[in-house]
Structure 1
Amino acid sequence: MRVAVLAHGKFPDRAKTAVGVLRYADYDVVSVIDRDHAGSRVTDHVPGVQDAPVVAGFGEVPEPVDALLIGIAPIGGGFDESWRPDVLAALSRGCDVIAGLHYFLNDDEEFVSLAAENDCELRDVRRPPDDLSVSEGLAGAVDAEVILTVGTDCSVGKMTTTMELARAAKAAGHEAAVIPTGQTGIMIEGWGTPIDRVVSDFTAGAVEAMIRKKGDDYEYLFVEGQGSIVHPAYSAVTCGILHGAMPDALVLCHEADRDRIHGYEPFPLPSIEEYVDLYEGLAAPVSDASVVAGALNTSDLGDAAARDALVDFESAIDAPATDVLRYDIDDVLEAIV
């Protein structure tokens, strides 16, 4: 499928859905739409992903194109009205529109009407299925080893780490699959349940259902973590995933030098050692999972500082760690498999 990715004003640092799709999805991205960087190319900003021109609006997206994908997931998941002209332009050209927002395109009368007129599909990947139920506590019985990425905060690299570990496991000859729990993972994998949109009673059950669906067909399941157990807004999602997954192992993800919760700066991050204790203690009632490895995002550091930060992080978690996009992943994978 040929897609254009909307990332107005956020590309690349605050458009993690766009970057995730560019790095991991099977889509052929023909353009990224960002009026702030129009005239440049994707790889001018993000190395190591598929390249495409950056344009100012959907009107500049070349044919053929099948869909517009909204590559931004702001806090709260709202729809920015400045995006409306691009969505309308896409629908007018007969393109589907894919979004991972809490604002559902299918609840917008203008979008629904134009989509029907032009035989387009509006895909709200953050709309959960209707047949969810509470957990039965059965995820731990699957044949696969279940590995869950957990974080010190939001946007520290849990999705990226999940994808890289699954890729590395497959390359090493293992049968491995990703369990997508957020909008970006769902867009990449083509299936999954958006856990942050699920009714609280059904959160653990939704994760359990995905693991039971895949758990006897693979050696390893890599579960995409969400949020952080100390996050003042999103801790409930984190806990639900942890208890629903009943993981065999945890991989702790952190961004180097981050010491405050992003977007909630009055709240400091606990020490790394405290996170290890918190996650292992929270897992203990349902599994004996421990933090067996770590992933450190060092993108804002020079090489010497990054390597020093990794040494400190490994010491704090008492396990091997790496930056999964910058350095070798073998030691971390060996600790898991």
Structure 2
Amino acid sequence: MSISLGPDDSVAVLAHEKFPDGAKTAVGVLRYANYDVTAVLDRERAGERVTDHVPDVPDAPIVESMTDALETSTPDALLIGISPIGGGFDESWRADVRAAIEAGCDVIAGLHYFLEDDEEFAGLAADHGVDLIDVRRPPDDLTVSQGRARDADADVVLTVGTDCSTGKMTTTLELVAAARERGIDAGFVPTGQTGIMIAGWGIPVDRVIADFAAGAVEQMILDAADDHDVLFVEGQGTIVHPAYSGVTCSLLHGAMPDSLVLTHSAGRDAIHGYEDFAIPPVEAYVDLYEDLATPVAPTEIAAGALDTRAIDDDDAARAAVDDYADAVGGPATDPVRFDADAILDALL
């Protein structure tokens, strides 16, 4: 999947009733994409500003609808910046998507519901000459893994997590940026809809046929390894998730990483969306990931990344990071709140 958006392009981002904490795609695009966000659509926060809630990203107005967003400018695309569990399409978004298409905007979505297969949207897109870009539609030529990722001519680092939404993509992108600042030729391998929207390429591993998922990861590793010295691979899910563990295992075995970075959210004690399932101790994850990788391609958790957003005080956040480092058995940091240097030093 590829997306042709560059620094001269702009998007409006749909995040109804979820911005910012429930709209990680929206926040990821605001923080890392190289195109401009002209407005964020959220009915509950209309009239506010992006930086009222996420202070370290470019600012934009929050508006009630796509019609409101179009009053000041016409972006190149409407990007759906949220993805509910199961990846369905909320019918309350239909008017916004319709307004975008009729205004000549492309629509970019990372849902399991494909806009191209929606009869109304497909007809409108054809009438107005715009593209419907379903980021989660995988390529047709995928195969099973050949066990060849270990032959990649690049060091491979994979982020893994204690849960979903613990900062795997964020940590991966922060590591890429930090490595490049040191003059290291680092590449980002996007494996989910948000990473693909940011990087403009990638394969959505959670939409790939199960037999081909590890092969899809392997293909991306081998394709990118010729262009970079180090590859940072965006992780997905967690190996203990009752719904998404298969994706995590496919990434672990398909990428055959040289090292792992374990991510966690401070204060979280239950699996996101599955609150009856407790998160095991961090130490258990270290053994679990390393033992699971060993029969295919031995690796180790070299460092940890802790999301400390739930902690207001910086000193308390640093203390939490220190405790997390002890649990991981290696260096740790919050790469957004502080920086990624401690992790990068451990990896390189």
* TM-score after normalising by structure 2: 0.96
Secondary structure at the counterpart of residue 184 of structure 2: coil
Letter in structure 1 aligned against 2:335: V
Equivalent position of 1:16 in the other structure: 24
Pick from 296, 299, 305: which aligns with 2:316? Answer: 305
- Supply the distance in 2 between the matched residues of 1:311 and 1:63 (Cα, whole angstroms): 46
Pick from 61, 64, 70: which aligns with 1:56? Answer: 64
Letter in structure 1 aligned against 2:342: D
Equivalent position of 2:12 in the other structure: 4
How much does 1:73 deviate? 0.9
Equivalent position of 1:29 in the other structure: 37
Letter in structure 1 aligned against 2:293: A
- Supply the distance in 1 between the matched residues of 2:19 and 2:283 (Cα, whole angstroms): 33
Letter in structure 2 aligned against 1:159: M
Letter in structure 1 aligned against 2:229: E
Equivalent position of 1:129 in the other structure: 139
- Supply the distance in 1 between the matched residues of 2:203 and 2:74 (Cα, whole angstroms): 30
- Supply the distance in 2 between the matched residues of 1:139 and 1:68 (Cα, whole angstroms): 36
Equivalent residues in 2 for 1:254-273, closer than 5 Å: 254-273=264-283
How much does 1:305 deviate? 2.3
Secondary structure at the counterpart of residue 251 of structure 1: strand
How much does 1:308 deviate? 1.7
Structure 1 consecutive aligned stretches of length 4 or more whose deviation exceeds 6 Å? none
How much does 1:9 deviate? 0.2
How much does 1:304 deviate? 2.7
How much does 1:50 deviate? 1.2
CA deviation string 1:39-77 (max 9, x = no partner): 111111101111111111011112231110000011000
- Supply the distance in 1 between the matched residues of 2:65 and 2:130 (Cα, whole angstroms): 19
Secondary structure at the counterpart of residue 242 of structure 2: coil
* TM-score after normalising by structure 1: 0.99
Pick from 103, 127, 135: which aligns with 1:93? Answer: 103
Equivalent position of 1:142 in the other structure: 152
How much does 1:280 deviate? 0.5
- Supply the distance in 2 between the matched residues of 1:85 and 1:166 (Cα, whole angstroms): 38
Letter in structure 2 aligned against 1:96: D
Equivalent position of 2:297 in the other structure: 287
Letter in structure 2 aligned against 1:82: S
Secondary structure at the counterpart of residue 314 of structure 1: helix
Equivalent position of 1:188 in the other structure: 198
The question of 1:206 aligning with 2:216 is answered yes
User: Percent identity of the aligned residues?
Assistant: 64
Equivalent position of 1:116 in the other structure: 126
Pick from 238, 244, 250: which aligns with 1:234? Answer: 244
CA deviation string 1:188-238 (max 9, x = no partner): 000000000000000000000000001122111000000000000000000
Letter in structure 2 aligned against 1:263: G
The question of 1:170 aligning with 2:170 is answered no
Secondary structure at the counterpart of residue 19 of structure 1: helix
The question of 1:47 aligning with 2:58 is answered no
Letter in structure 1 aligned against 2:24: K
The question of 1:336 aligning with 2:347 is answered yes
Q: Which runs of 5+ in 1 are unaligned?
A: none
- Supply the distance in 1 between the matched residues of 2:84 and 2:268 (Cα, whole angstroms): 19
CA deviation string 1:25-46 (max 9, x = no partner): 0111110011111111111110
Equivalent residues in 2 for 1:304-323, closer than 5 Å: 304-323=315-334
* Contact map agreement 2:74 2:103 (CA 8 A) in 1: no
- Supply the distance in 2 between the matched residues of 1:328 and 1:27 (Cα, whole angstroms): 24
- Supply the distance in 2 between the matched residues of 1:217 and 1:142 (Cα, whole angstroms): 11
- Please give the root-mean-square deviation of Cα atoms over the aligned residues, in Å: 0.7
- Supply the distance in 2 between the matched residues of 1:83 and 1:191 (Cα, whole angstroms): 25
- Supply the distance in 1 between the matched residues of 2:119 and 2:321 (Cα, whole angstroms): 50
- Supply the distance in 2 between the matched residues of 1:280 and 1:87 (Cα, whole angstroms): 44
How much does 1:286 deviate? 2.0
Secondary structure at the counterpart of residue 36 of structure 1: helix
